[in-house]
């Protein structure tokens, strides 16, 4: 395997492989669900192909996710007065 391109020697482009693996790990879809999604897009894949890709590339995606993972929750508080009817009300807004 080429160390610069882990997708070399595969019959599908790297974008399709990475999208299938991303769908599996991001949304916890089954291999058959991903097979149906790709069939709607005009790609004939088997669930065994996606299983192989997910097993082969999972460490690559885990490293990428850990590198870009946020180290805690951030949220911002905003306080504002607004008029509701004829009365001024105090409104707090929290944004995650």
| Domain interval for residue 87 | 1-96
The more confidently predicted of residues 3 and 16 is 16
Q: Which helix (H) or strand (E) holds 20?
A: helix 14-27
d(CA 42, CA 34): 12
Q: Tell me: the pLDDT tens digits for 24-79?
A: 888 888 999 999 999 999 999 998 998 999 889 888 877 776 676 666 666 666 77
User: Is the overall model pTM greater than 0.75, yes or no?
Assistant: no
d(CA 20, CA 26): 10
Are residues 48 and 30 in contact, defined by beta-carbon separation less than 8 angstroms? no
Tell me how many domains the chain contains: 1
* 62-77 per-residue burial string, b: 16 or more CB within 10 A, e: under 16: eeeeeeeeeeeeeeee
Q: What is the pLDDT of residue 10?
A: 82
């Amino acid at each position: 395997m080429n160390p610069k391109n882990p997708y070399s020697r595969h019959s599908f482009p790297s974008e399709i492989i990475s999208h299938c693996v991303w769908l599996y790990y991001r949304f916890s879809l089954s291999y058959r669900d991903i097979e149906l999604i790709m069939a709607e897009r005009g790609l004939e894949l088997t669930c065994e192909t996606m299983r192989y890709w997910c097993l082969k590339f999972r460490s690559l995606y885990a490293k990428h996710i850990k590198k870009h993972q946020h180290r805690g929750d951030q949220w911002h508080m905003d306080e504002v007065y607004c008029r509701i009817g004829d009365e001024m009300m105090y409104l707090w807004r929290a944004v995650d």
